[in-house]
Amino acid sequence: MANKKPINVAVQASKLKISATITGLDPEINTAGETVNLILAVGGQNLVVPLNPKSFRKVQVALKAGEPGSVMVILTGELDLQAMRIVSAGIVAQVKIQKPDKPDDTVPVDAIASTDAIVPVDATMPEPAPPLPPIVTFKKQRIPEPQG
C-alpha cells in the first residue's frame, strides 16, 4: 500500500480562477481616476493585476477606517499565464468583526464541594404542568334538510 504509483489524469481548463488574501497594501496611495496596476508577488514571480480605481479606493477607505489587522483584502480574477497577469480582477475589503467575550460560566471547584451550595430538590422544583387534553378531530358531514 505504501508503494502505490500515482495515477495522472490529464484535463483542460478554459480559465484558471484565482483568489488571494493580500497584505501590505498602503491605504494612502493616490489613485485619482487612473487605472491601478497592482503588482502581486507570488513565489518569486510578479503578476500584474489591473484594477478598477473605484474598487481600489473603496478598499483604501475600509483600510483607513479599520484598526490595523482588522481588515482582510481579497483579490479575485482569472490567471493568464502567458501574459503573467490576472485579468477580470476584483478587489474587496472585509472587516473582521471581533466576537464578544463569552462570560465565564464555569463553576469553581470549591463551590461544588461545599455543602452550603446544595439546595434541596423539592424546595426549588415547580409543580409539574397538568397533562394536555387529547386532541379530538371531527369529520364534517352534511346533514340533509328535512323534506316536508
pLDDT at 16: 84
Query: 45-67: per-residue pLDDT in tens?
Result: 888 899 988 888 888 888 888 87
Query: Could you tell me if residue 54 is inside a domain?
Result: yes
Query: Could you tell me if residue 21 is inside a domain?
Result: yes
* Residue 112 DSSP one-character state: H
- The H-or-E segment that residue 80 falls in is strand 71-80
Q: How many domains does the chain have?
A: 1
Q: Which residue, among 71, 96, 64, 74, has the nearest Cα to 19 in the 3D structure?
A: 74
Residues 6+ apart with CB under 8 A from 43: none
Burial label, 77 (beta-carbon count in 10 A; 0-12, 13-18, 19+): buried
Asked whether residue 32 carries a pLDDT value surpassing 80, the answer given is no
Query: Could you tell me if residue 121 is inside a domain?
Result: no
Query: 97-139: per-residue pLDDT in tens?
Result: 777 776 666 656 555 555 555 555 555 566 778 887 777 666 7
pLDDT at 77: 92
Query: Could you tell me if residue 22 is inside a domain?
Result: yes
Query: Diameter of the chain by CA atoms?
Result: 103
How many Cα atoms are found within 13 Å in the side-chain-facing hemisphere of 138?
Answer: 3
Q: What is the pTM of this model?
A: 0.55
Query: Could you tell me if residue 127 is inside a domain?
Result: no
Query: Could you tell me if residue 113 is inside a domain?
Result: no
Query: Could you tell me if residue 110 is inside a domain?
Result: no
Structural domain for 33, as ranges: 17-95
Contact predicate 66/10, CB 8 Å: no
pLDDT at 78: 92
CA 21 to chain centre: 14
Quote the cell numbers at residue 107: 463553576
pLDDT at 130: 82
- The H-or-E segment that residue 7 falls in is none
Query: Could you tell me if residue 70 is inside a domain?
Result: yes
Residues of the chain with pLDDT > 70, as a percent, come to 75
